[in-house]
């Protein structure tokens, strides 16, 4: 258990889903955690499982599906280097130069924390954000998944520091 926090629930799984509004368009959705700021409630993230749509297989065209889960709203795709990004997934089909098919690649952050980690992030504000963006695709792409963790109550100083850190780094 992180210092300054006291668990107030058992592990819960929160499902999420977002679809592009049009092919190759960054689309973001907010998922409400229903946290109580008056009770200094935070969400301790233990694991994230993301399932992004496969990119279109188009002859002679590179296609990509990129997905992310962040603690703050974003204006476009970000990487794990962003302090508010908890998970990313990227699926690629490299077909430029091929007449009939390409080679598929996938990259993603670890779906489960490495052995020994107590948590992979703490969400101090009331929601988190999921987003998807395709590149070179004909069809809309989507992202679905689950966020696993538990609610916790933070001491006043820890809660203030977590909220300020999350909001100011947006």
CATH code given to domain 5-168: 2.60.120
Q: What is the pLDDT, as a whole number, of residue 114?
A: 58
Q: What is the pLDDT, as a whole number, of residue 116?
A: 65
> Per-residue DSSP letters for 104-163?
EEEEE--SSPPTT-S-SEEE-SSEEEEEEEEES-SS--EEEEEEEEEEEEEPHHHHHHHH
Q: What is the pLDDT, as a whole number, of residue 108?
A: 61
Predicted confidence pLDDT, tens digits, the chain (170 residues): 678 899 999 999 999 999 999 999 999 999 999 999 999 999 999 999 999 999 998 888 899 999 999 999 999 999 999 999 999 999 998 887 777 666 766 666 655 555 567 889 999 999 999 999 999 999 999 999 999 999 999 999 999 999 988 887 76
Q: Domain residues of the chain, as ranges?
A: 5-168
pTM of the predicted structure, to 2 decimals: 0.89
Distance of alpha carbon 36 from alpha carbon 153, whole angstroms: 9
């Amino acid at each position: 258990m992180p210092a300054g926090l006291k668990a107030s629930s058992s592990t819960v799984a929160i499902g999420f889903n977002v679809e592009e509004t049009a092919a190759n368009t960054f689309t973001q959705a907010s998922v409400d955690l229903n946290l109580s700021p008056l009770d200094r409630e935070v969400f301790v993230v233990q694991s994230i499982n993301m399932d992004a749509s496969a990119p279109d297989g188009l002859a002679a065209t590179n296609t990509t599906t990129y997905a992310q889960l962040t603690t703050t709203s974003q204006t476009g795709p970000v990487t794990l280097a962003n302090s508010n990004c908890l998970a990313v997934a990227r699926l690629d089909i490299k077909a430029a130069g091929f007449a009939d098919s390409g080679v598929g690649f996938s990259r993603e952050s670890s779906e489960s924390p490495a052995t020994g980690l107590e948590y992979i992030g703490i969400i101090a504000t009331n929601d988190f954000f999921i987003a998807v963006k395709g590149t070179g695709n004909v069809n809309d792409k989507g992202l679905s998944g689950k966020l696993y963790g538990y609610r916790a109550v933070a001491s006043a100083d820890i809660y203030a520091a977590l909220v300020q850190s999350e909001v100011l780094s947006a």
